[in-house]
Chains A and B, each alone.
Chain A
């Protein structure tokens, strides 16, 4: 009796959580797959097996939208890495006490827990036509007219995404930097390595898994992103997420579902390529 209970206990314990994921994650995504083959007559969808929806999205517009999404992804990834790495490095190697490291890390983390919408709105008084940046630039005479590209543009979208998601790059890198044995750094220095050599030969390779995890987060966050594109982008800015959202808005579920399946496949492909280059198993 007690032996059986011991073997069954973990299954009983994980049941509630597993049920939630089955109901609200696995089943819905399977349904997207199913519905993507259904027929759509302009008003409602009916169960069927047709490839029309997939053919319907094989257009120049979709291709352009994907290219635009990749552009956002590439720029945001590069910016979060180039800004996030030095920040994580500073916290891990230059802040002396553990209490201070945690406190400063918390300072970086707090905005992440607040509303994304509000964080995007806060850029308006800074970047708008009459915003602080334009007032400043015209004040010192650098520009005669307010710069238009600052808000409601692709530039603003990337800026907004970096602002919103950079913590997802910083946290994993910080985590892997903190795990590096400090004696390795000392050993490299004792053997005569310069600061840059130590960084390139010791610290960077050991923090690569952190970079990989951060990159995976950035990829999954950006690929389906539509809020930033809607709020910060001009009417022209397009992304796959926004496209899907528009199709859902007009109740074209099968078309949206087909798009979503392609999006999922593309996202998985990028993640798999990241995992082939960088091994993250040590971090898990």
Chain B
């Protein structure tokens, strides 16, 4: 094995410390959520059980989590469907030059970097002026799209950059119409990427807080419900909920990553 310079070991140590910084806090709440029934909010752990994880599914004094969870799932699914459709169409539009493409592109970037409180406030003001009630599935949906759509669009641009157009040209030479070319050639080829982008979009929406916080209306999504809990819950049930929802998001990401890898490998095998 080749000898490595000292800087390698220093940077390796720094990187490990960084990963610890990133994951350390999360690991502590995972541990604390597995305490016995008389556990508290801090160490040392009092006993070991799955009592608090079970508590999450019970009716709570401070509210229940099933309904916000269902809302977040529905909203995530709707955001995912709209984001995928709109971003695939738009990124296909960007494959040829057209007047005004720069403006559209910068508008997308703006959506990503405008301070999120402006999006939230703006949508809130519009609904207020129009006299519409804010709701998680109207104003909340719009707020989520300003966050997920630019990210999905930028990823889709990258995917189409690497896309070989000769397959489409072949289909067209054989007389296929545009829609037929899309459904039979383009879509199957980008399907694994869409799976990944879809799951990323879903988790972004599922965990979104700042943009939704001012425009969700009467009924909370899950992150808003959790935020409300932080002030009045003093039992490890809070940690248990955090553990469950983090494990849920993280597994979606891992599924997205490995599914994408597997599909790409299989396609390469066929080619």
Counting CB contacts under 8 A, is B185 at the interface?
no
Chain A 64-92 near chain B by CB (<8 Å), digits 1 or 0 = 00000000000000000001001101110
Q: Say if the beta carbon of B183 comes within 8 Å of chain A.
A: no
CA distance A267 to B118 in the complex (A): 12
- Bound-state CA distance A133–B227 (Å) is 24
Tell whether A147 is near chain B: CB-to-CB under 8 Å: no
Partner of B19, one of A18, A108, A260: A108
> By CB atoms of chain A within 10 A, which of B12, B210, B254 has the most?
B210
Q: Mark B1-42, 1 if CB is under 8 A from A, else 0.
A: 000110110011011001101111110110010000000011
Chain A positions 102 through 123: 1 when the CB is less than 8 Å from some CB of chain B, otherwise 0: 0010111011011111110111
Shortest beta-carbon distance from A131 to chain B in Å = 6
Residue of A113, A115, A241 touching B200 (CB-CB under 8 A): A113
Q: Within the complex, what minimum Cβ distance (angstroms) separates A223 from chain B? A: 5
Give the residues in chain B near A17, CB-CB below 8 Å: 86-87, 89-90, 108, 149, 153
A256 to chain B, nearest CB (A): 6
B111: chain A residues within 8 A (beta carbon): 21, 25
Contacting A at CB under 8 A, from B37-95, are 41-43, 82, 85-87, 89-90, 92-94
Instruction: Choose among A29, A113, A121, A128 the residue that contacts B118 (Cβ–Cβ < 8 A).
Output: A29
- The size of the chain B interface, using a CB distance under 8 A, is 84
Q: How far is the CB of B1 from chain A (nearest CB, A)?
A: 11
Q: A241 contacts B115, CB within 8 Å?
A: yes
Indicate if the CB atoms of B129 and A260 lie closer than 8 Å: no
Contact A263 B125 (CB under 8 A): no
Given A107-B19, A131-B42, is A217 in contact with B113 using a C-beta cutoff of 8 Å?
A: yes
Q: For the complex, what is the distance from the CA of A223 to the CA of B118, rounded to whole Å?
A: 11
- Known contacts A17-B90, A122-B242; decide if A117 and B117 are in contact (CB<8 Å): no
Report Cα–Cα, A241/B213, bound state, in Å.
12
Q: Would you call A128 and B41 a contact (CB within 8 A)? A: yes
A267 neighbours in B (Cβ, 8 Å): 115
Residue of A10, A83, A224 with highest tally of chain B CB at under 10 A = A10
Determine if A122 and B93 form an interchain contact, defined as CB atoms under 8 angstroms apart: no
Chain A residues contacting B213 (CB-CB under 8 Å) are 227, 245
Chain A residue nearest in CB terms to B97: A10
Cα-based distance from A87 to B13 in the complex (angstroms) = 10
What does DSSP make chain A's interface, helix, strand, loop or mixed? Answer: helix
Give the residues from 248 to 273 in chain A that come closer than 8 angstroms, CB to CB, to chain B: 248, 253, 256-257, 260, 263-264, 267, 271
Interface positions of B (Cβ within 8 A of A): 4-5, 7-8, 11-12, 14-15, 18-19, 21-26, 28-29, 32, 41-43, 82, 85-87, 89-90, 92-94, 96, 98, 101, 104, 107-108, 110-111, 113-119, 121-126, 128-129, 142-143, 145-146, 149, 153, 178, 200, 203-204, 207, 209-210, 213-214, 223, 226-227, 230, 238-239, 242, 245-246, 249-250, 252-254, 257
- 29 of the cross-chain contacts (CB-CB < 8 Å) are A9-B178, A11-B98, A14-B94, A21-B107, A24-B145, A25-B119, A28-B121, A89-B11, A90-B15, A91-B15, A94-B7, A108-B18, A113-B203, A113-B204, A114-B203, A114-B246, A118-B226, A118-B246, A119-B25, A121-B238, A122-B29, A124-B42, A125-B28, A125-B41, A163-B22, A216-B113, A225-B210, A231-B227, A263-B115
Known: A14-B89, A90-B12. 20 other contacts (CB 8 A): A13-B93, A16-B85, A21-B108, A24-B142, A27-B122, A29-B118, A31-B125, A32-B122, A113-B207, A113-B252, A117-B223, A119-B25, A121-B238, A125-B43, A195-B5, A220-B114, A224-B118, A227-B209, A253-B128, A257-B125
